[in-house]
Amino acid sequence: MRKIERYPVKGPNALWQLYRTVSPWKGVKNFIFIQFTRYCPILPLKNWIYRHVLGMEVGRDTAFGLMVMVDVFFPEKIKIGYNTVIGYNTTILAHEYLIKEYRLGEVRIGNDVMIGANSTILAGVTIGDGAIIAAGSVVHKDVAPGTFVGGNPLREIGSKMDD
């Protein structure tokens, strides 16, 4: 089950009220740095920006593929362990803006995790150590350590023991 906090809003949908929850300057700064890191081929530089400019926790030897999109408004809610690979064009979100509410939740990705290309990780999920996420998956719930999951809806395909 995802661990998210819900914040009801009155008036227009929650996205119209975005800048009541996040400074517009934070959004602009984060967007510029995230766009740079999406195209940057230098892994240590990308990780430095994620850690020191965006406030993410990123473990050593973690690699972000080209075009990875991290949450623009709440990157500090993303925590990634060591030696993890985030595949090409993956999106990691720590927020959801809906009609009558917005939701926030930390994303925790463990050590030695492999996330396939074009996956989407939603707010409030935990992906356990050694998990493998198949390309094109939507991770809408927690993933147990050592499991191989994929699809939309997400389902278990196997475990590392099945190698």
Crossing angle of helices 43-52 and 24-39, rounded to 10°: 170
**The pLDDT value given to residue 15:** 93
The Cα 29–Cα 141 span in angstroms is 30
What pLDDT, on the 0 to 100 scale, is given for residue 161? 54
| Confidence at 160, pLDDT banded by 50, 70, 90 | low
Q: Which tokens is 130 given? A: 């050694």
Enter the pTM of the model. Answer: 0.94
Q: Has residue 61 got a pLDDT over 60?
A: yes
Going by C-alpha positions, the residue among 128, 132, 157, 152 that lies closest to residue 142 is: 128
**Domains in the chain, CATH or no CATH each:** 5-150 (2.160.10.10)
Name which of 55, 120, 36 is nearest 86 in CA terms: 120
Q: How confident is the model at residue 1 (pLDDT cuts 50, 70, 90)?
A: confident
Per-residue pLDDT tens digits for 68-112: 999 999 999 999 999 999 999 999 999 999 999 999 999 999 999
Q: In this structure, are residues 133 and 150 in contact, taking their beta carbons and an 8 Å threshold?
A: yes
Calculate mean pLDDT across residues 7-28. 93
